[in-house]
Amino acid sequence: MKSGKGFSIAALICGIVSIILAWWYMVNIAAIICGVLGLVFAVIGSKRSKAAGEPTGLATAGLVLSIIGLVFALIGFLACTVCVCACGGALKKAANDLSSYTY
């Protein structure tokens, strides 16, 4: 059976990238994708490392970082989306109020 070290390293990198990208609106969609990929890679790496009798520390670190990045990205995306929608509604109401004034 092959070693799971490559998948574990990929999970670690995806987790780090997802945490970094989670802080920008609309870029955090890529962070969500990286977080999910990191979870998958971490699980595969952990299973392969256990089967080969190797330590699973890299896979565990990748799993934890991927979960943190995924949570940050989801919270950031939802919060920013709510703010953008609220601003759009406020601008629409302001435009309607402004157009109702007569000179």
**pTM of the complete model:** 0.82
Would you state the pLDDT for residue 45? 95
* Within-domain flag for 54: yes
Residue 100: inside a domain: no
For 26-36, what is each residue's pLDDT tens digit? 898 999 999 99
Q: Give the domain range for residue 16.
A: 5-77
At 102 the pLDDT is 66
35, 66 Cβ separation under 8 angstroms: yes
Residue 85 belongs to some domain of the structure: no
Could you tell me if residue 66 is inside a domain? yes
Report the SS3 class of residue 26: coil
Number of domains in the chain: 1
pLDDT in tens, 63-72: 999 999 999 9
90 in a structural domain: no
Block means of pLDDT (10 residues each) for the chain, length 103 residues? Answer: 87 95 89 96 94 91 96 93 91 84 69
